[in-house]
């Protein structure tokens, strides 16, 4: 069960990322290191999803996007793919009510047309049930690829606006991307020791801070999330600007914040004099 967010002067300070995206890597290796079949690691990976989701809610993170199954993962052994699909069905059957009770909106991005009808229907029901929740948005990328996302966005845009075949810009395309209703991720986390983004959110990760950990996904917990957030806090997010420009902007904001109470008091006194 999610608890209320921590106080604003703790980890929910402004430097907490609004949107965290995660590649959950290492389930199979975690299981094999313990003499278990790979599918055992995927089951334990679901537990890590639960704990990470709770930790994000407690820290005031508004969006959590998880790479659960890539369009390339169909190449895995058929029995593993079948187990992953069954695991997805079971998770939807068991978890959606809890998500809804905790005010969590659930979404799936990716090409769901390849899924079995029962799985596709469970996804549709989960999205409908939780559509109006706003405490945290949990997005699962399933049968998703960053290249697919860009291609489907271009095709969707041109179908809706044929006149754009002669030219368009980023703002024209953005509404057709899979994560168009969410801010771009602030922090990307990949577990398992690999240091690549593996066709995940290629468009949306353009200015995202990247964090890699050797921890395998079943080992990832609230403390590991805090280490990732601490690393994020130390980054200087310039978005094309210089460090000097950032410091100038921060100083202006501090002055404005310091002046605000005095300005409010003056306005209140003027109002009393004219009353």
Q: List the catalytic residues.
A: 25, 73
Task: Provide the β-strand partners of residue 190.
Answer: 23, 212
Q: Report the half-sphere exposure of 180 (CA within 13 A, side-chain side).
A: 16
Distance of CA 214 to the CA centre of its chain: 20
Cβ atoms 75, 109 nearer than 8 A: no
Q: How far apart (Å, rounded) are the C-alpha atoms in residues 96 and 127?
A: 9
Bridge pairing between strands 136-144 and 104-109: parallel
Q: Answer whether 93's CB lies under 8 Å from 122's CB.
A: yes
């Amino acid at each position: 069960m999610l608890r209320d967010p921590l106080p604003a002067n703790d980890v929910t300070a402004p430097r907490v990322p609004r949107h965290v995206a995660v590649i959950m890597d290492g389930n199979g290796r975690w299981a094999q290191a313990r003499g278990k079949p790979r599918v055992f690691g995927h089951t334990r990976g679901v537990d890590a999803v639960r704990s990470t989701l709770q930790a994000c809610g407690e820290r005031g993170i508004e969006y959590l996007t998880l790479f659960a199954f890539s369009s390339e993962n169909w190449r895995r052994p058929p029995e593993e793919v079948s187990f992953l699909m069954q695991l997805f069905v079971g998770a939807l059957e068991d978890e959606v009510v809890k998500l809804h009770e905790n005010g969590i909106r659930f979404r799936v991005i990716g090409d769901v047309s390849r899924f079995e009808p029962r799985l596709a229907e469970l996804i549709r029901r989960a999205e409908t049930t939780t559509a109006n929740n706003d405490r945290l948005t949990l997005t699962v990328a399933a049968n998703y690829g960053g290249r697919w996302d860009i291609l489907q966005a271009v095709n969707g845009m041109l179908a809706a606006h044929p006149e754009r075949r002669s030219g368009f810009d980023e703002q024209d395309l953005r509404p057709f991307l899979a994560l168009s209703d969410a801010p771009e991720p602030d922090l990307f986390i990949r577990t398992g020791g690999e240091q690549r983004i593996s066709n995940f959110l290629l468009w949306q990760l353009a200015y995202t801070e990247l964090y890699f950990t050797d921890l395998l996904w079943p080992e990832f917990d609230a403390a590991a999330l805090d280490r990732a957030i601490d690393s994020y806090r130390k980054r200087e997010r310039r978005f094309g600007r210089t460090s000097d420009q950032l410091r100038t902007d921060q100083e202006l904001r501090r002055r404005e914040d310091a002046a605000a109470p005095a300005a409010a008091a003056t306005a209140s006194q003027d109002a009393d004099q004219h009353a």
